[in-house]
Amino acid sequence: MTPADQQRFPPLAITLRNSTPAVIRPLAETDGNGLAKFYAGIPADDVLFYCPHPLTQEYALKNAAQAASPTEVVLVLETSGDSIGGYAWYRWKVGDVASGFGICIARAFQGAGAGQQLMARLLDVALMVGPSVMSLTVQKKNPKGVELYTKMGFRVIREQLRASDNEPEYYMERRVR
């Protein structure tokens, strides 16, 4: 997210359904260690559902270092103590008509509206930045994810097997403009 786009979409204060105050803001280059700590807290059971990249400190630092990229938008859910409680991203290559999308919410904030609010903010940004279609894959055995994506306007395009392990999944898309 370019610095100009970051200024167009400043941090947004929200309150989760469990009364937790939080801020949705663009990922910053200084967020590498916080993102690594977030990755380290993802339970092994949830890693299955979030597998587009390694959940390592090295990748967290690399991800944060790209915070000003013109071909990706990464938003974080910042909770008390400047902790990252979730994040959502979409990325594309120059000239693409669709972007990839991913989201991960800490268990402590699942069911509290964090995913829905983070996605809503990301969709606000997508109206102005990036390709006109967002795409994602979600494992069939992740009904909470499928429900959230459907609620946010994504539709199933096809069923497929994930290349890395033949896990059944849905390929979903949402037009953003």
What pLDDT does residue 52 have? 62
What pLDDT does residue 29 have? 95
Residue type, 138: V
For the chain, the domains span 3-131
Quickly name the fold that domain 3-131 has. Aminopeptidase (3.40.630)
pLDDT one-digit tens code per residue, 75-126: 999 998 779 999 999 999 999 999 999 899 999 999 999 999 999 999 999 9
Give CA–CA dist 50/83, Å, rounded: 19
Give CA–CA dist 22/47, Å, rounded: 24
What pLDDT does residue 92 have? 95
- Single out the residue of 111, 61, 63, 58 nearest to residue 88, CA to CA: 63
What average pLDDT does the structure give for the chain? Answer: 92
Distance (Å) of CA 76 to CA 34, 38, 79, 130, 169: 10, 11, 9, 18, 25
pLDDT band at 54 (very low <50, low <70, confident <90, very high): confident
Give CA–CA dist 30/46, Å, rounded: 26
Q: What is the SS3 assignment for the chain?
A: CCHHHHHHCCCEEEECCCCCEEEEEECCHHHHHHHHHHHHCCCHHHHCCCCCCCCCHHHHHHHHHCCCCCCEEEEEEEEHHHEEEEEEEEECCCCCCEEEEEEEECHHHCCCCHHHHHHHHHHHHHCCCCCCEEEEEEECCCHHHHHHHHHCCCEEEEEEECCCCCCEEEEEEEECC
Say yes or no to pLDDT of 51 above 70.
Answer: no
By DSSP bridging, strand 98-105 and strand 133-139 are: parallel
The rounded percent of the chain whose pLDDT value lies above 90 is: 78
